[in-house]
């Protein structure tokens, strides 16, 4: 069942965001949340976990505070329901449940509280990106594996495709087709963009969803698509990009990667942003398939590295300006396609990509690595970005 927007005869709920003012240090929470990790600062001298993020250890005043994954368990000490707020975002969303949790790692934290968490009971903690893109602590019942969906309030932290309309931008590729199929299976209604429909391509006689003409290398085509479906699409999954090894036509590569994303950003995404607060299933996410070589350049794919780096820089620069939308980077390694026939596995498969996109939307994370190579490189990069360039 596809969701319905709000009452069309009244002004829609504005796409507001919760308070975003945080210190640079607190960005570590957002980094962890963007990857689906639960990490806090841990003192390298005395081992004490810290919250909220700070510059010196509350135990020994040591300055060597490193972001480390910590145990996710805790006990709910106290709970309250906020009924009145001075903040415009929370005024839209009250009543809102808050609580104080004593984490197993020893810190006390004020957290967003799932409706089924009982005072005195065990909770499972996660870090989630809120609508402002900040990493916030959320307490969930330990036994509910579907907890982010079972409390309607928590849907705001995720982008579950169920009940939403999704545009998959490039249905000419098996990756776009696989993503579309998986999204439909996950309960979404899918529009599938097809460039140059006059030219045949594999799978064209069995396309999932609603195929429509869309060529991201042509601004007029993007404008036409935005006019046709921009007011209905809640999620964009952009599978257009340049993922080939070696060199090639640089201008054409930038057209299908950087300029394609730029046209979406300028001509299509604003329609989503305007509806990001409206209805039961507001517009919520823009996913881009990006080669991991855009993060760490690959000498075997110099052109793709530059093209993907350009796309990545664009998406990262736009992120704070496009809230409350989530801008999800789905980093892929070498694809299991005809262009990589000579490369042995592991390669990123269509099924891996499609399932990873669904999972990222459901979890509300913003940086995912698809396949072993992308996962390895992303982990290396988080560990020491500079050294990956010399690996």
Partner 1 sequence: MSSLAAFAADLAAGSLKIVDLTQTLAPDFPTIVLPPQFGQCAPFRMEVISRYDDAGPGWFWHNISVGEHTGTHFDAPVHWVTGKDLPNNTTDTLVVQNLIAPACVVDCSKDAANNGDYLLTVATLEAWEAKHGKIPAGNWVLFRSDWSKRSGADYANVLEDGAHTPGPDAAAVQWLVDRGVLGLGVETIGTDAGQAHTFTPMYPAHTLMHGAGRYGLQCLCNLDQLPPTGAMIVAAPLKILGGSGSPLRVLAIVPA
Q: Is residue 198 close enough to count as binding partner 1 by CB under 8 A? A: yes
**Interacting stretch for partner 1, rule CB under 8 A, among 52-60, 118-126, 162-170, 244-252?**
244-252
Residue from 134, 174, 221, 308 binding partner 1 (CB under 8 A): 221
Q: Is residue 219 close enough to count as binding partner 1 by CB under 8 A? A: yes
Q: Is residue 200 close enough to count as binding partner 1 by CB under 8 A? A: yes
Site string for partner 1, 251-280 (x = CB under 8 A): xx----------------------------
Residue from 130, 151, 189, 215 binding partner 1 (CB under 8 A): 215
Q: Is residue 213 close enough to count as binding partner 1 by CB under 8 A? A: yes
**Cα 13 to Cα 219: distance, rounded to the nearest angstrom:** 30
Least distance from partner 1 to the Cβ atom of residue 199, Å: 6
**Interacting stretch for partner 1, rule CB under 8 A, among 146-154, 161-169, 210-218, 344-352?**
210-218
Name the DSSP letter for residue 81.
E
Nearer of residues 200 and 299 to partner 1, judged by Cβ: 200
Position of tokens 């990069």?
381
Query: Which three-class secondary structure string do you get for 306-375?
Result: HHHHHHHHHHHHHHHHCCCCEEEEEEECCECCHHHCCCCCCCECHHHHHHHHHHHHHHCCCEEEECHHHH
List helix spans (H) across the chain.
27-34, 88-93, 147-150, 174-185, 219-229, 250-254, 260-267, 269-274, 302-318, 350-363, 372-383, 385-388
Please list, in sequence order, all residues whose beta carbon lies within 8 angstroms of the beta carbon of residue 341, skipping any fewer than 6 positions away: none
**Interacting stretch for partner 1, rule CB under 8 A, among 23-31, 104-112, 194-202, 291-299?**
194-202
**Interacting stretch for partner 1, rule CB under 8 A, among 56-64, 245-253, 296-304, 355-363?**
245-253
Strands 73-82 and 235-238, by their bridges, are unpaired
Give the interface with partner 1 as residue ranges (CB under 8 A).
196-200, 213, 215, 217-221, 249, 251-252
């Amino acid at each position: 069942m596809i969701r319905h927007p709000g009452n069309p005869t009244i002004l829609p709920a504005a796409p507001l965001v919760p308070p975003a003012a945080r210190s640079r240090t607190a960005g570590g929470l957002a980094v962890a949340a963007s990857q689906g990790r639960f990490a806090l600062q841990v003192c390298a001298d005395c081992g004490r976990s810290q919250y909220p993020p700070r510059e010196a250890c509350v135990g020994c005043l040591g300055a060597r505070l490193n972001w480390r994954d910590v145990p996710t368990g805790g006990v709910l000490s106290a709970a309250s329901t906020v009924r009145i707020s001075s903040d415009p975002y929370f005024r839209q969303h009250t009543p809102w449940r808050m609580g104080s949790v004593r984490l197993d790692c020893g810190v006390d934290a004020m957290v967003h509280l799932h409706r089924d968490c009982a005072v005195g009971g065990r909770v499972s903690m996660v870090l989630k990106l809120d609508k402002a893109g900040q990493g916030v602590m959320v307490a969930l019942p330990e036994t509910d594996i579907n907890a982010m969906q079972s409390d309607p309030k928590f849907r705001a932290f995720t982008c579950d495709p169920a009940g939403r309309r999704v545009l998959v931008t490039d249905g000419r590729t098996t990756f776009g087709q696989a993503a579309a199929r998986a999204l439909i299976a996950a309960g979404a209604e899918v529009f599938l963009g097809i460039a140059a429909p006059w030219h045949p391509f594999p799978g064209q006689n069995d396309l999932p969803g609603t195929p429509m003409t869309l060529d991201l290398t042509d601004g007029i085509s993007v404008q036409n698509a935005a006019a046709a479906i921009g007011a209905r699409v809640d999620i964009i999954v952009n599978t257009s990009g340049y993922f080939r090894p070696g060199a090639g036509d640089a201008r054409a590569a930038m057209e299908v990667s950087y300029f394609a994303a730029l046209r979406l950003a300028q001509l299509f995404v604003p329609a989503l942003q305007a509806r990001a607060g409206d209805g039961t299933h507001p517009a919520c996410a823009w996913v881009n398939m990006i080669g991991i070589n855009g993060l760490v350049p690959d000498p075997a794919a110099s052109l793709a590295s530059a093209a993907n780096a350009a796309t990545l820089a664009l998406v990262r620069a736009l992120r704070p300006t496009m809230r409350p939308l989530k801008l999800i980077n789905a980093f892929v390694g070498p694809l299991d396609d005809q262009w990589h026939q000579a490369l042995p596995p592991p390669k990123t498969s269509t099924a891996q990509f499609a399932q990873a996109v669904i999972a990222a939307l459901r979890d509300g994370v913003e940086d995912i690595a698809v396949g072993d190579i992308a996962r390895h490189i992303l982990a290396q990069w988080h560990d020491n970005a500079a050294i990956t360039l010399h690996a």
